[in-house]
C-alpha cells in the first residue's frame, strides 16, 4: 500500500514538474521568436473604448497596434462578442499571441453580491468563496480571463472611500478572506474553463493613505507594514494568486509602482512570487506627479527596475523601453523576465490552445441567467447584514402586521443597491435585474398586510418638503421601516469623504418619524462605516445593510421578518465622530490609558469626546441570545513547540435558531516591543438551534503568539498571555491566561 502511495506521489510530482516545464519551454521558445517591439507589446495594457475606470487616453490606432502585436492585454472589455472581436485582431498578429482581458469583477459580474466590506461582515468564509466562485463562473463565460480582485488593503480610516472594496481593519480576518476570494476566483486551478486569474491589490499599504484621501501618501513603520498591512497579501499569494497590482500611493517617499523593496525584494524575492505585477491605472506615468521621475522615460526605468511587469494605460513602457535598452540603462533580461511572466499565465489559462475558449455566447447566456446564482446572492446578502440594535425586540417583524410604512430615499431604488464597482453590463435593465427593497418587502408580506410608502427626502440636500407626507404615512402604520444612507457612488475609488455622517437631512427625517411614537426600524445602506448618532441613540432597531447587490430587497426582507436571523459582525470599528479617526480595536495601551470614557485625569483621552467607538469591531446582535461558558485551557504553561487547546461552550438561550461568530483574542502582556491590547487570532461561526450547546475549540500555537520583535524577526517571546473569548472585540465573555515558557 505504502509503495503504491509513494509511486503515485512520485508520478504526480513528476507529472506536475513536466507540465510546468512544458509551459516554461513553450514560453522560452516563443520568446526567442519575438522582436523587441512584440516583447514590449506584451507589457502594454489598454483600456477598451467602451468604458473607463480612470482618466482616458484615446488611441485611434488601437486595432492596428493589436494586429502588430503591440498590446498584451485589454481591460474594461465585456462580453463574448466584444472580446472575440478584439481577440480576432490579436490572431492576425505575426505570432498570434492572445490578448488577456482584465476586468474589475469586485463583487460579482452580473449577479452582484454585497460590496466586499459588507460581505466581510458575514465572517462566513465559505459564503465569501462561493460569491467569488460565482463571479468567476459568470465573468469567464463572458470573455474575462482576469479579475482585478481581491483588494486586500487593510483599512482603518472610514473616510477612505475604498474601504468598501476590502475586508476591513483586521489582518487575521483580512488574510482568511483574501484566501477565500483567491480560491473562489481561480477555482481548482488556472486553466479551468471557469477560472479567472485573481489580482491581489494594491501592493502595498494603500489603505493607510494620509487623511483617508484617495491616492494620498503613506508613511509607516516597517513593523506596521509587516504586522498589519502585508499579511493579507501573503495569504493571497499562498493561496496561489496569479497576479498582483501595485498601488497609487508612495510608501515612505517611494511610489509603490517604482518601489523595488516592495516588488523585487519582498514579493518576487523573499516571497518567491512567480506571477506578474500589473501597475495601477496610469501609475507608472504618475510617478512624475509624485516628483519621483523627471519624465516618462525615467518613470519607465524606475517601474521596470522595481518589478512592475505590465503597464496599465500609462504608455510609458511602450514609449520608452526601447530607448532605455539602446542606452543600456536596462538589460534585456529585465524585459524578458516580465514578458515570460505574462506569457506563462496566458499558457496556463489555455489561451494558446484556444484563444476563444472564454468566448462562447451560449455558455455566456446560461451562466448569466442561472437561478442558483440568484439564490446564492440572496443568501449571502442576508448573511452580510449586521443587527446593530434591537430594543424591545422590535425585530423580527410579524408577517401578520396590518400596516407597514416603508419610508426613505432608498426604498424604491434599483441600481443604488449594486454599490460601487458593479460591472455595469451594457444593456442591462436594472429594474429587472435588481430586487429593490420595496419589491423585497412586497414579495415577503401576505395580502393582509398593507404597505405604505413615502420618500421623505433625497439622499443629499436640505429639502424637507417631503417630511409632512412621510410623517402622515408613518402615523397610519403599525411599524415604520426606513431606508437611508449614502448614494452607491459615495464610497468607492476617488470617493473619500471628510464628513461620514449620513448625508443630507435623512437623520432629521428619522427624528421626525421617531416623534410619531411608532416603532421604527432603520436600514442603513452604504459601503463604509457611517456616523448616525441620532439614529443609534434613539431608534429601537437598526440593520446595517451595506449595499447588498442584485438580491438586496429579498435579503433584507428575509432578515426583517426573521426567515434569516442576522449573524453579521462589523469588520471595522465605527467611530462616534470623525475626530476619532483612525480608530481600531487592536491599538496599543499607551503609558496613560484611560480607565473608561470619562477618565480625563491626565489620560490618553479627548476632553470633548469619548474614546470608545460607537460600535466596536466584531460587533453584531442576533434575534436570539448566546451564553458563553466553561472556558478551558489544556495547559497553563506551554513551550514554543507545543500547543494549547482552548475550548468554550456556547448555548443558544433565546427563542430563535441563529448563528454566532465566536471570537478568540489574545494579548501578549509584555514584549520587546509593545503589543496591542488584543488581537483576533481565531473565530468560529457556529449555528445553534434553540437550547442547543456547542463546544468551540481553538488551538494556540507558536505562530499565533509570534510578532515582529525589536529586530523585526517574526518570533514569540516567553511571558504571560491573556486568552479572551467574546462576541465582539469589546464584549469579552470569558477570560483566562497562560504562560509561554523559554
Ligand atoms: C484603478 C483602481 O485603483 C484599481 O483598483 C482598478 O483595478 C483599476 N483602476 C482598473 O479599473
What CATH number corresponds to the domain at position 448? 3.40.50.1700
Return the DSSP state at 52: -
pLDDT of residue 503: 98
445 and 539 belong to one structural domain? yes
In-domain check, residue 549: yes
How many Å apart are CA 291 and CA 255, to the nearest integer? 9
Q: Is the pLDDT of residue 335 over 90?
A: yes
303 and 393 belong to one structural domain? no
CA 283 to ligand 1 centroid distance, Å: 10
CA 345 to ligand 1 centroid distance, Å: 20
390 and 340 belong to one structural domain? no
In-domain check, residue 308: yes
For residues 350 and 191, is the Cβ–Cβ distance under 8 A? yes
> Which pLDDT band holds residue 17 (cuts at 50, 70, 90)?
very low
Ligand 1 mutation target, pool 48, 75, 104, 244, most atoms within 8 A of CB: 104
CA 280 to ligand 1 centroid distance, Å: 6
In-domain check, residue 592: no
Q: Is the pLDDT of residue 697 over 70?
A: yes
CATH of the domain at 227: 3.20.20.300
CA 421 to ligand 1 centroid distance, Å: 10
Atom of ligand 1 nearest to the CA of 247: 3
Ligand 1 mutation target, pool 144, 247, 283, 312, most atoms within 8 A of CB: 312
Query: Is the pTM here over 0.85, yes or no?
Result: yes
How many Å apart are CA 28 and CA 24, to the nearest integer? 6
Q: Is the pLDDT of residue 7 over 90?
A: no
Nearest-CA residue for ligand 1 atom 1 is 281
Which of 580, 597, 616 is where one domain is finished?
580
Nearest-CA residue for ligand 1 atom 7 is 148
Longest dimension (CA), the chain: 82
> Which pLDDT band holds residue 19 (cuts at 50, 70, 90)?
low
400 and 282 belong to one structural domain? no
Give tens-digit pLDDT for 283-331.
999 999 999 999 999 999 999 999 999 999 999 999 999 999 999 999 9
In-domain check, residue 370: no
Helix, strand or coil for residue 312? strand
For residues 89 and 59, is the Cβ–Cβ distance under 8 A? no
Give tens-digit pLDDT for 704-723.
999 999 999 999 999 999 99
Mean pLDDT of 484-506: 98
Catalytic (active site) residue 280: yes
In-domain check, residue 184: yes
* Domain count of the fold of the chain: 3
How many Å apart are CA 7 and CA 557, to the nearest integer? 56
390 and 311 belong to one structural domain? no
In-domain check, residue 605: no
Nearest-CA residue for ligand 1 atom 4 is 280
Phi, psi (deg, nearest 5) at residue 40 = -65, -35
pLDDT of residue 188: 87
330 and 428 belong to one structural domain? no
352 and 411 belong to one structural domain? no
Place of cell 459588507: 118
pLDDT of residue 49: 79
Q: Which of 104, 170, 280, 311 is catalytic?
A: 280
How many Å apart are CA 515 and CA 498, to the nearest integer? 30
Nearest-CA residue for ligand 1 atom 8 is 281
pLDDT of residue 588: 98
CA dist 119 → 89, 104, 130, 345 (Å): 39, 17, 11, 29
pLDDT of residue 5: 47
pLDDT of residue 51: 82
Neighbours of 578 (CB within 10 A): 16
- Range(s) of the domain holding residue 463: 382-580
Query: Who lines ligand 1 at CB under 6 A?
Result: 53-54, 75, 104, 148, 201, 280-281, 493
In-domain check, residue 599: no
453 and 502 belong to one structural domain? yes
> Which pLDDT band holds residue 202 (cuts at 50, 70, 90)?
very high
In whole angstroms, what separates CA 176 from the centre of its chain? 11
Q: Is the pLDDT of residue 250 over 50?
A: yes
106 and 164 belong to one structural domain? yes
Atom of ligand 1 nearest to the CA of 165: 5
Mean pLDDT of 582-590: 98
426 and 536 belong to one structural domain? yes
Grid cell listed for 316:
510609458
Mean pLDDT of 398-414: 97
How many Å apart are CA 395 and CA 401, to the nearest integer? 12
Which of 362, 395, 415 is where one domain is finished?
362
Q: Is the pLDDT of residue 612 over 90?
A: yes
Atom of ligand 1 nearest to the CA of 102: 10
Instruction: Report the DSSP pairing between strands 679-688 and 637-638.
Output: unpaired
421 and 336 belong to one structural domain? no
Which of 551, 580, 609 is where one domain is finished?
580
For residues 342 and 312, is the Cβ–Cβ distance under 8 A? no
CATH of the domain at 664: 2.60.40.10
512 and 631 belong to one structural domain? no
Q: Is the pLDDT of residue 13 over 90?
A: no
In-domain check, residue 375: no
What's the mean pLDDT when you consider all of the chain? 96
Amino acid at each position: 500500500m505504502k509503495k503504491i502511495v509513494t509511486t503515485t506521489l512520485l508520478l504526480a510530482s513528476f507529472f506536475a514538474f513536466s507540465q510546468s516545464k512544458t509551459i516554461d519551454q513553450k514560453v522560452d521558445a516563443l520568446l526567442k521568436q519575438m522582436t523587441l517591439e512584440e516583447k514590449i507589446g506584451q507589457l502594454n495594457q489598454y483600456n477598451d473604448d467602451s468604458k473607463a475606470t480612470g482618466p482616458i487616453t484615446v488611441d485611434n490606432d488601437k486595432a492596428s497596434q493589436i494586429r502588430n502585436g503591440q498590446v498584451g492585454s485589454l481591460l474594461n472589455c465585456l462580453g463574448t462578442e466584444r472580446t472575440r472581436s478584439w481577440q480576432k485582431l490579436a490572431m492576425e498578429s505575426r505570432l498570434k499571441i492572445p490578448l488577456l482581458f482584465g476586468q474589475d469583477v469586485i463583487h460579482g459580474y452580473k449577479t452582484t453580491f454585497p460590496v466586499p466590506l459588507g460581505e466581510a461582515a458575514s465572517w462566513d468564509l465559505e459564503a465569501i468563496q462561493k460569491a467569488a466562485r460565482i463571479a468567476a463562473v459568470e465573468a469567464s463565460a463572458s470573455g474575462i480571463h482576469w479579475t482585478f480582485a481581491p483588494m486586500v488593503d487593510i483599512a482603518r480610516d472610514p473616510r477612505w472611500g475604498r474601504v468598501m472594496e476590502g475586508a476591513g481593519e483586521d489582518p487575521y480576518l483580512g488574510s482568511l478572506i483574501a484566501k477565500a476570494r483567491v480560491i473562489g476566483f481561480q477555482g481548482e486551478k488556472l486553466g479551468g474553463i471557469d477560472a479567472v486569474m485573481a489580482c491581489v491589490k494594491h501592493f502595498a499599504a494603500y489603505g493607510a493613505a494620509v487623511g483617508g484621501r484617495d491616492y494620498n501618501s503613506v508613511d509607516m513603520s516597517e513593523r506596521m507594514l509587516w504586522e498589519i498591512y502585508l499579511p493579507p497579501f501573503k495569504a493571497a499569494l499562498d493561496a496561489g494568486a496569479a497576479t498582483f497590482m501595485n498601488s497609487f500611493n508612495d510608501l515612505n517617499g517611494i511610489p509603490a509602482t517604482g518601489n523595488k523593496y516592495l516588488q523585487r525584494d519582498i514579493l518576487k524575492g523573499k516571497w518567491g512570487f512567480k506571477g506578474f505585477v500589473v501597475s495601477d491605472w496610469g501609475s507608472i506615468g504618475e510617478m512624475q506627479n509624485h516628483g519621483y521621475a523627471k519624465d516618462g522615460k525615467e518613470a519607465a526605468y524606475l517601474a521596470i527596475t522595481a518589478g512592475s511587469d505590465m503597464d496599465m494605460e500609462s504608455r510609458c513602457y511602450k514609449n520608452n523601453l526601447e530607448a532605455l535598452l539602446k542606452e543600456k540603462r536596462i538589460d534585456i533580461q529585465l524585459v524578458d523576465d516580465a514578458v515570460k511572466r505574462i506569457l506563462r499565465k496566458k499558457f496556463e489559462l489555455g489561451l494558446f490552445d484556444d484563444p476563444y475558449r472564454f468566448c462562447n455566447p451560449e455558455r455566456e447566456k446560461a451562466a448569466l441567467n442561472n437561478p442558483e446564482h440568484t439564490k446564492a446572492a440572496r443568501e449571502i446578502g442576508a448573511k452580510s447584514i449586521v443587527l446593530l440594535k434591537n430594543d424591545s425586540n422590535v425585530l423580527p417583524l410579524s408577517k401578520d402586521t396590518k400596516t407597514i410604512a416603508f419610508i426613505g430615499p432608498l426604498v424604491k431604488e434599483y441600481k443604488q443597491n449594486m454599490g460601487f464597482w458593479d460591472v455595469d453590463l451594457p444593456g442591462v435593465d436594472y429594474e429587472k435585474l435588481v430586487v429593490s427593497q420595496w419589491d423585497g418587502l412586497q414579495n415577503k408580506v401576505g395580502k393582509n398586510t398593507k404597505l405604505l410608502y413615502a420618500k421623505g427626502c433625497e439622499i443629499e440636500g436640505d429639502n424637507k418638503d417631503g417630511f409632512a407626507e412621510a410623517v402622515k404615512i408613518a402615523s397610519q402604520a403599525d411599524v415604520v421601516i426606513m431606508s437611508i444612507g449614502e448614494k452607491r457612488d459615495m464610497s468607492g475609488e476617488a470617493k473619500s469623504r471628510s464628513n461620514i455622517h449620513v448625508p443630507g437631512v435623512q437623520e432629521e427625517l428619522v427624528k421626525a418619524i421617531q416623534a410619531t411614537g411608532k416603532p421604527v426600524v432603520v436600514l442603513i445602506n452604504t459601503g463604509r462605516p457611517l456616523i448616525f448618532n441620532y439614529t443609534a441613540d434613539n431608534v429601537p432597531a437598526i440593520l446595517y445593510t451595506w449595499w447588498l447587490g442584485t438580491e438586496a430587497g429579498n435579503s433584507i426582507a428575509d432578515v426583517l421578518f426573521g426567515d434569516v436571523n442576522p449573524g453579521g459582525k462589523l469588520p471595522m470599528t465605527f467611530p462616534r465622530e470623525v475626530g476619532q479617526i483612525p480608530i481600531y480595536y487592536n491599538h496599543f495601551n499607551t503609558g496613560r490609558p484611560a480607565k473608561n470614557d470619562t477618565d480625563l485625569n491626565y489620560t490618553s483621552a479627548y476632553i470633548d469626546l469619548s474614546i470608545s467607538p460607537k460600535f466596536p469591531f466584531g460587533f453584531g446582535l442576533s434575534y436570539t441570545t448566546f451564553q458563553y461558558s466553561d472556558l478551558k485551557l489544556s495547559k497553563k504553561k506551554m513551550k514554543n513547540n507545543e500547543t494549547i487547546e482552548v475550548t468554550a461552550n456556547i448555548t443558544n438561550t433565546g427563542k430563535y435558531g441563529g448563528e454566532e461568530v465566536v471570537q478568540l483574542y489574545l494579548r501578549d502582556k509584555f514584549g520587546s516591543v509593545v503589543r496591542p491590547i488584543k488581537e483576533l487570532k481565531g473565530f468560529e461561526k457556529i449555528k445553534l438551534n434553540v437550547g442547543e450547546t456547542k463546544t468551540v475549540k481553538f488551538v494556540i500555537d507558536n505562530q499565533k503568539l509570534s510578532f515582529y520583535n525589536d529586530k523585526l524577526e517574526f518570533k514569540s517571546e516567553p511571558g504571560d498571555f491573556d486568552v479572551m473569548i467574546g462576541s465582539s472585540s469589546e464584549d469579552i465573555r470569558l477570560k483566562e491566561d497562560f504562560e509561554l515558557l523559554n
